[in-house]
Amino acid sequence: MAPLRIVPVFLLLASAALAQTYGVGRAPTPAELAQDITISSTGVGLPPGHGTAAEGKVLFTQKNCVVCHGPDAVGGVTSAPNLQAKLGPEVDAWDRKGGGDGIPVKAPYATVVWDFIHRGMPLGNEGTLTPNEVYALTAYLFAINKIIPEDQVLDQNNLAKVKMPIGDEWVRVPDWRPKTPRLAGYPY
């Protein structure tokens, strides 16, 4: 059988690759490492800064967020999502409509919302917001969705501690193994 012949060759190659490094590439400079904008769910990687909902409300207009997300972030202007859940905070986050209704409510971690704004907004001018502005916009979206009090100051120390409506009730990605069905007991 062909697979029997292939297996030893594959193992040989794999073990050769595992046994060797090539000394190619160099260590990153501090400036290059500073371009790492990854934020962990526990807040590792968050830059120092702070902001409030009141500041965020002003920025939401100033930074043209309203052009796509609409006044009061309720959407309806373009296909950009509505950011203010129409349903009240008492409604189960999972019962909200698709991706459009109140995306910040559906985030499992507060850091996800911060990271989303920091990476991807405003569309066309990404990377131009300062850390303080991102904290303020995050606070604004959380306040209008009743996730935090309107007067709370968000900063690098308390952002990851914000309790999100979705809580812990979402599924972690199952462990992945090669040549394994994606869902045990599901033959398709």
Partner 1 sequence: MDPKRSTRRELLKGGALAVGTVAAGASVGKIAFAETPASGPAPSLPSYAANEAPMVPASEDVIAYGVRSHYVTSKRIPANGRASPDDFGLEFHIATPLQDSVGTIQASSLHYVATTKGSFIPDIDPAKHTLMINGLVDRPRIFTMADLKRFPSVSRFHFIECSGNSASDRNKTVQESHGLTSNAEWTGVLLSTLFKECGLQKNANWFVAESAEEIKGASTIPINKGMTDVIVAYGMNGEPLRPQQGFPVRLIVPGFEGIFNTKWLRHIKVVDQYQLNMNDFGHLRRDPKEAALGYQIGPKSVITFPSGGQKLPERGWYEITGLAWSGGGAVRKVEISTDGGKAWHAAQLKGTPNPMAHTRFGFMWNWEGGEHVILSRATDEIGQVQPTVEEVAKALGVAYTPKFRVPMNNNTIMPWKVARDGSVTNGLPPVPTGA
Interface with partner 1 by CB under 8 A: which residues?
Answer: 17-18, 20-22, 24-28, 32-33, 35-42, 68, 78-80, 94, 99, 103, 106-109, 112, 115-116, 119-121, 123-124, 126-127, 169-183, 186-188
User: Do the Cβ atoms of 45 and 156 come closer than 8 Å?
Assistant: no
- Write down the least CB distance from residue 172 to partner 1, Å: 6
- Write down the least CB distance from residue 52 to partner 1, Å: 24
Q: How far apart, in whole angstroms, are the C-alpha atoms of residue 154 and residue 141?
A: 12
- Write down the least CB distance from residue 58 to partner 1, Å: 24
Q: Of how many residues is the chain composed?
A: 188
The C-alpha angle with vertex 53 and arms to 48 and 58, in degrees rounded to 5, equals 100
- Write down the least CB distance from residue 166 to partner 1, Å: 8
Decide whether 149 or 170 has the Cβ nearer to partner 1: 170
Decide whether 49 or 108 has the Cβ nearer to partner 1: 108
Q: Comparing C-alpha atoms, which of 160, 59, 53, 169 is closest to residue 115?
A: 160
| Dihedral Cα 95, 100, 106, 107, nearest 10 deg | 170
